[in-house]
Amino acid sequence: TQLLEQSPQFLSIQEGENLTVYCNSSSVFSSLQWYRQEPGEGPVLLVTVVTGGEVKKLKRLTFQFGDARKDSSLHITAAQPGDTGLYLCAGATSGSRLTFGEGTQLTVNP
């Protein structure tokens, strides 16, 4: 059974601070996705990383895929209250079946 461990589970920070969320597994994934979910809504795709060592940036968000394609990180610079939400990592192997982490609930206080 493939597992993705996300940490931290909860994170509460002040506006302007930086943060990093980690996603780790003992399994190799062909790609890894990061989603953001807000209350009452479904997960929304932020980014897909495919190549080991790949780094992608989305405004203040930086996503990295580990060299061995077993882990990933999401770094947010100068967090804003609008960044508040549940961040989920999800690994893909064959087909479209995704293995999700438990998520990181981020709260950015003004």
Partner 1 sequence: EAGVTQFPSHSVIEKGQTVTLRCDPISGHDNLYWYRRVMGKEIKFLLHFVKESKQDESGMPNNRFLAERTGGTYSTLKVQPAELEDSGVYFCASSQAVGAVGNTIYFGEGSWLTVV
DSSP character for 51?
Answer: S
Which C-beta is closer to partner 1: that of 69 or that of 108?
69
Contact between 30 and partner 1 per CB under 8 A: yes
- Residue of 7, 20, 24, 31 that binds partner 1 (CB under 8 A): 31
Shortest approach of partner 1 to residue 99 CB, angstroms?
Answer: 7
Contact between 48 and partner 1 per CB under 8 A: yes
| Distance of alpha carbon 87 from alpha carbon 35, whole angstroms | 6
Task: Give me 56's structure tokens.
Answer: 């992608």
Contact between 47 and partner 1 per CB under 8 A: no
CB 31 within 8 A of CB 64: no
Angle at 58 between CA 99 and CA 98, to 5 degrees: 10
Contact between 58 and partner 1 per CB under 8 A: no
Angle at 105 between CA 101 and CA 106, to 5 degrees: 130
Contact between 50 and partner 1 per CB under 8 A: yes
Contact between 46 and partner 1 per CB under 8 A: no
Task: Give me 48's structure tokens.
Answer: 């897909």
Residue ranges that bind partner 1, judged by CB under 8 A: 4, 30-31, 33, 35, 40-45, 48, 50, 88, 90, 92, 95-103
